[in-house]
Structure 1
Amino acid sequence: MNPVYDFIQRNRVLAIVEKAQSSNARNIALEDFDLTQFPSVILNCQYLYHLNISHNNISDLPNDIVQLKNLQHLSLEYNNFTSFPTVFKNLTQLVSLNLSHNPIKVLSRDVGHLASLETLWCNSCCLTELPNEIGNLTKLETLGSRHNKICKIPDTISSLKNLTWLTLEDNSLHTVPPDFGDLESLTHLNLNKNNFSYIPFAISKIKTLRYLHMQNNELFSVPERVVLAMPQAKINLQNNPLQLDNEKLFPNVIITGQEDNIQDLVEDDSDSSSDDWDNSVDSSDLNYSGSDSSESDIEEVLSYIPKLSKYVTPS
């Protein structure tokens, strides 16, 4: 990295964090600062509630991060974590955690210690499985693990009674656990781009389910028994090799050739976030709209520390 640019970046980080510390700010956002290490100065911000250090090149967290007793929302997406940080087992107060786009490969059993989690994103992490300890996250409402290599859902997922949103799009799944129907709060389920050759009957037992996405799987037929068991759900089966010559069509099922009905499927959804869900957004962005550190605050800090292009070269 250009040394001048490196100097400027480090001082921009220092200025932002020192301003946050002096004002007892609850939010710090340090996206795309080319950080290779966690800035230790952040540990002085005892009032910190949201921390976004995504889009950097950080590969580890210091054990001292446990000093941030008020930290509840942490975004680490697009960094270089190759393993699940062991210090997480001591951050039991975390409410939301975004680990997406890190080459983690294994979601450690330590994830089970994060009993306060309501939102967990681990998209595009090369995961081959979810640990059984995922069932310990009984407050979890949103679980996103798209674009991985998961071939089996752990039976313990049925313990997540508060789970509302679940996306396992683009994995290697072909079935769900027998007790999957115990997910008594599940509203949106995205199983697009997997290896399902049928719709598991256990899914039809989820009476709260309103949206089931199973596009780009290996279904050859629409199972009438399953569809009739969940008339409240909109079921998208586009881009499956369906053979429908003599099959009955259902008003709540979307198949290739019935694209005109898709708009009705979206418009009928009273959930304001459904558009992002249906468009398969890769990751969740933390919402800082109610935090103490506004964009104008950051602009004020940067007014006396000019931002150089990372491509600048010394003369």
Structure 2
Amino acid sequence: MKTIYLFIFVLSLLNHNHSIGQVDSLAIKKEYVNIEEALKNPEKVFRLNLSNQKIEIKSISWDKFVNLEYLSFKNDHLKEVPKEIKNLKKLKVLDLSGNDFKILPKEFSQLSNLEELFLNDEKNLKLEENIEVISLLPHLRILHLENDNLKHLPKNFFKLKSIESLYLNNNFFKEIPVEVRGLNQLNFLDLNNNKIKHELQDIKNLNFGFKINF
């Protein structure tokens, strides 16, 4: 009889742990789009999408979002990036596309787990002046610089040593930027919708060591 009760107890415990796992999985997938709702239980927020909104980001206590992995400020027309997001130690993906800032704060480099950064549609961005800060992101693997009116890359671009995938689509490049040759980890370059001549496209996979998409 004791053996039966023990079996039932173990089974119920396993079912309980399984249900907890399901809840955790759902929580990770849920995307919050309202900052007020997200602030009710910030420790449970893994994805926060504040795109196309007018929000006072300086008043937000970002250190409360201890588990945040994805954050989007897309098309929010931010004049500056809040220094306080340095406290998002688990952040992996950050979308800053479509804003009005020129310079990233030096604290930006403290996003130690950031893997993917979107800087698309940034007409005011001073790329060369931001390379140093971006290069200090130790785990950055994917960088988006799409539709930024770029004609060339800054000479210090080689400092982005950890970049594996680089998206330069919808710009004004007339040739493959030589600066990418200094990116030793690069394995994919997207140059779709640029002004690169067809004869240059014919050598897209020769002598570069990485795949190029035109």
Establish whether TM, by shorter chain, passes 0.5. yes
How far off its partner does 1:87 sit? 1.4
- Show the counterpart of 1:148: 148
Q: Deviations over 1:122-181 (max 9, x none)?
A: 211324332121111231111112111345534554344442211122335567465x32
The answer on whether the counterparts of 1:59 and 1:81 sit within 8 Å (CA) in structure 2 is no
- Show the counterpart of 2:183: 183
Change in 2 beyond 3 A, CA 1:228/1:77: closer
**Which segments of 5 or more consecutive residues in structure 1 lack a partner in the other structure?**
1-22, 194-214, 237-315
- Show the counterpart of 2:207: 229
How far off its partner does 1:88 sit? 2.0
Aligned-partner Cα distance in 2 for 1:227–1:92: 37
- Show the counterpart of 2:103: 106
- Show the counterpart of 2:52: 55
How many residue pairs were aligned?
Answer: 186
If the length of structure 1 is used for normalisation, what is the TM-score?
Answer: 0.48
Instruction: Tell me the amino acid that sits aligned with residue 124 of structure 1.
Output: D
Change in 2 beyond 3 A, CA 1:80/1:191: same
Instruction: Tell me the amino acid that sits aligned with residue 83 of structure 2.
Output: T
> What fraction of aligned residue pairs are identical, expressed as a percent?
23
1:124 aligns with 2:113: no
The answer on whether the counterparts of 2:73 and 2:97 sit within 8 Å (CA) in structure 1 is yes
- Show the counterpart of 2:134: 134
Q: Deviations over 1:209-258 (max 9, x none)?
A: xxxxxx423x485499986524874564xxxxxxxxxxxxxxxxxxxxxx
Considering only aligned residues, what root-mean-square deviation do their CA atoms show, in Å? Answer: 3.5
Aligned-partner Cα distance in 1 for 2:169–2:162: 20
- Show the counterpart of 1:72: 69
Aligned-partner Cα distance in 1 for 2:76–2:50: 8
Aligned-partner Cα distance in 1 for 2:94–2:54: 17
The answer on whether the counterparts of 2:188 and 2:211 sit within 8 Å (CA) in structure 1 is no
Q: Deviations over 1:174-207 (max 9, x none)?
A: 67465x32323322212345xxxxxxxxxxxxxx
Quick one: higher RCO (CA 8 Å, sep 6+), 1 or 2?
Answer: 1
1:168 aligns with 2:168: yes
1:45 aligns with 2:24: no
The answer on whether the counterparts of 2:135 and 2:159 sit within 8 Å (CA) in structure 1 is yes
The answer on whether the counterparts of 1:73 and 1:97 sit within 8 Å (CA) in structure 2 is yes
Task: Give the 4+ runs in structure 1 shifted more than 6 A.
Answer: 223-227
1:216 aligns with 2:195: yes
Aligned-partner Cα distance in 2 for 1:110–1:61: 15
- Show the counterpart of 1:258: none
Q: Deviations over 1:64-110 (max 9, x none)?
A: 11121111211222323222122123324311101122333434444
Q: Deviations over 1:246-305 (max 9, x none)?
A: xxxxxxxxxxxxxxxxxxxxxxxxxxxxxxxxxxxxxxxxxxxxxxxxxxxxxxxxxxxx
Aligned-partner Cα distance in 1 for 2:98–2:164: 23
- Show the counterpart of 1:273: none
Aligned-partner Cα distance in 2 for 1:155–1:104: 22
- Show the counterpart of 1:89: 86
The answer on whether the counterparts of 2:38 and 2:45 sit within 8 Å (CA) in structure 1 is no
**Which segments of 5 or more consecutive residues in structure 2 lack a partner in the other structure?**
1-22
If the length of structure 2 is used for normalisation, what is the TM-score?
Answer: 0.67
